[in-house]
């Protein structure tokens, strides 16, 4: 079937990720959309390990390792340095996990966006600190079992709702903000193309399912990321210079279909799934409201 996905491969097939890793596909599609003239900054995370040890490398573009909290600071510096050398046509991309974005890197991210650097910040959201053994992050959804929210007699699963960094970036009025997932690569690539047309900071949050930490069979990664969108657990939207678009072109499914496909939610009883359903509905209504408010503002 013909697709609009660029043929160019900037990521080699050899890497050290687990089978079915959604984060590897996220990087592959991001690079296809970015092209060869790209510099990537990666903090401590699974992606710090995936390329392998020198002299091997998985990416066909320069990549900088940065400390866990410093993605925002590093892309600011890379951008300024490249601009001074006249290399203004290079894309500078921070590529960080949800722990490195929603939690420890949030300050650096917010600073880079506020200073208005012409950079991309991609958050690959596997909803946990996976590289260090599946710990809870601020981006882990309500109900999930992680190794720091284990489910024993106490039913100590994650009790707080997901911290949504894309929403925070909209509140900060970042010129381009979007959510995407690997189940819809053409949508993902189109969003990066839209972002490229915006001069200034760009933030894209990509849902990247993790079979190892979400406890589902590796061959189900694409299906799970599709269910996340259809169940509205992970809505797809775009905020472009003050305009907000919510993708409503999916046939909605009940949240239980998403939850039941992953063992990280296996322990949830009907009341707890109801809590999740209520949260999902409230959030969807809030996004519909935003669409209205932003279109009125711009009218």
Ligand X SMILES: Cc1ncc(C[n+]2csc(CCOP(=O)(O)OP(=O)(O)O)c2C)c(N)n1
Q: Whole-angstrom Cα distance, residue 44 to residue 147?
A: 19
126 near ligand X, rule: CB under 6 A: yes
Q: What's the chain's Rg over C-alpha atoms?
A: 18
Residue 147 in the binding site for ligand X (CB under 6 A):
no
Strands (E), 146-215: 176-181, 202-207
- Two tokens, residue 86: 């006249």
Q: In this structure, what DSSP letter does residue 102 have?
A: I
Residue 108's binding partner among ligand SF4, ligand X, none (Cβ under 5 to 8 angstroms by kind) is none
Quick note: the x/- pattern for ligand X over 22-51, rule CB under 6 A, is ----------------------xxxx----
Beta carbon nearer to ligand X, 39 or 208: 208
In this structure, the number of other CB atoms found within 10 A of the CB of residue 211 comes to: 20
Which stretch of DSSP H or E encloses residue 240? strand 237-240
Q: Which of 20, 51, 99, 143 forms a contact with ligand X (CB under 6 A)?
A: 99
Distance CA 257, CA 227 (A): 7
The rounded distance, in Å, linking the Cα atoms of 189 and 179 is 12
Partner whose footprint covers residue 72, from ligand X, ligand SF4, none (CB < 5 to 8 Å by kind): none
Instruction: Work out how close the CB of 206 gets to ligand SF4 at its nearest, in angstroms, rounded to a whole number.
Output: 12
Residue 21: which of ligand X, ligand SF4, none does it interact with, CB under 5 to 8 A by kind?
ligand SF4
Q: Tell me how far, at minimum, the Cβ of 241 lies from ligand SF4, in Å.
A: 32
Query: Residue from 17, 24, 98, 165 that binds ligand X (CB under 6 A)?
Result: 98
Q: CA-CA distance, 188 to 252, in Å (whole number)?
A: 20
Please say which residue, 75 or 207, places its beta carbon nearer to ligand SF4.
207
Question: What residues make contact with ligand SF4 under the rule CB under 6 A?
Answer: 17-18, 21, 23, 46, 126, 130-131, 210-213
140 belongs to the binding site for ligand X (CB under 6 A): no
Q: How far is the CB of 67 from ligand X (least distance, A)?
A: 6
Residues 203, 116: Cα–Cα separation, whole Å: 12
Structure tokens, 75? 């892309």
207: contact with ligand X by CB under 6 A: no
Where does residue 68 rank: exposed (0-12), middle (13-18), buried (19+ CB within 10 A)? middle
Given the rule CB under 6 A, which residues bind ligand X?
44-47, 68, 97-100, 126, 128-132, 137
């Amino acid at each position: 079937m013909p697709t609009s996905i660029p043929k160019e491969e900037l990521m080699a097939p050899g890497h050290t990720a687990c089978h079915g890793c959604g984060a590897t596909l996220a990087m592959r599609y991001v690079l296809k959309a970015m092209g060869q003239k790209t510099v990537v900054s990666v903090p401590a995370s699974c992606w710090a390990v995936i390329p392998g040890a020198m002299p091997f490398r998985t990416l066909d573009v320069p990549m900088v390792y940065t400390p866990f909290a410093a993605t925002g600071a590093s892309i600011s510096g890379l951008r300024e340095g490249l601009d001074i050398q006249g290399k203004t046509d290079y894309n500078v991309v921070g590529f960080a996990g949800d722990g490195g974005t929603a939690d420890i890197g949030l300050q650096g991210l917010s600073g880079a966006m506020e200073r208005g650097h012409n950079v991309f910040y991609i958050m690959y959201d596997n909803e946990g600190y996976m590289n260090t053994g599946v710990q809870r992050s601020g981006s882990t959804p309500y109900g999930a079992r992680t190794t720091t929210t284990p489910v024993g007699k106490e039913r100590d699963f994650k009790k707080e709702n997901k911290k949504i960094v894309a929403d925070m970036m909209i509140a900060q009025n970042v010129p381009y903000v979007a959510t995407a997932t690997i189940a819809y690569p053409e949508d993902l690539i189109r969003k990066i193309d839209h972002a490229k047309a915006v001069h200034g900071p760009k933030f894209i949050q990509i849902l990247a399912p993790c079979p190892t930490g979400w406890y589902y069979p590796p061959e189900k990664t694409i299906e799970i990321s599709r269910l996340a969108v259809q169940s509205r657990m992970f809505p797809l939207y775009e905020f472009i210079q003050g305009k907000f678009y919510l993708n409503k072109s999916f046939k909605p499914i009940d949240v239980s279909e998403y939850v039941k496909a992953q063992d990280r939610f296996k322990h949830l009883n009907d009341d707890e799934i109801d809590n999740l359903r209520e949260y999902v509905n409230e959030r969807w209504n809030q996004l519909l409201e935003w669409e209205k408010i932003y279109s009125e503002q711009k009218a």
